[in-house]
Amino acid sequence: MVDPVPLRPRIVEEQQKLATEISDRLSQELVIALVGPVGSGVSTSGRLLSEILAQQFKYDVAPIIGMSDIIRTEARRVGVITPPQNPLNNYIDVMQAAGNKLRERFGNNYLAEKAVERIAKFRESRGG
């Protein structure tokens, strides 16, 4: 059994680094995350929520950020070429494998960090 005590300083250091990076992006924004399996209605729910926030509450709504979009963009970094969406079962298998490879190579937070980058770029484009 490996003694976890030597790992603690490194973990604390990584957490402090992450906290510093995140603190640079703090704002009064509303961020909503929706998750669900393929075909569960997450995309439809996201679009409806976006429309309601923009039209009824006058929010400046960022474009919807889908993890599949990020995986498609980043898959080449792990040597995966994303296929067309048909046949769907092949597309889902390849995309899941690409997401797993990205997390294995770059860390479990990688896709979330890429989503935060996109939010930050949207904010910058709006002067904030």
pLDDT in single tens digits along all 128 residues of the chain? 555 555 555 555 665 555 556 566 566 778 899 988 877 899 999 999 999 999 999 988 989 999 999 999 999 999 999 888 888 889 999 999 999 999 999 999 999 999 999 988 998 898 87
Residue 12's pLDDT is: 57
- The residue to which tokens 């079962």 are assigned: 89
Residue 114's pLDDT is: 95
Do 61 and 46 touch, CB atoms closer than 8 A?
Answer: no
Residue 38's pLDDT is: 73
* Integer Cα distance of 95 and 80 in angstroms: 9
pTM: 0.70
DSSP per-residue letters across 25-57: T--S---------TTSSHHHHHHHHHHHHHHTT
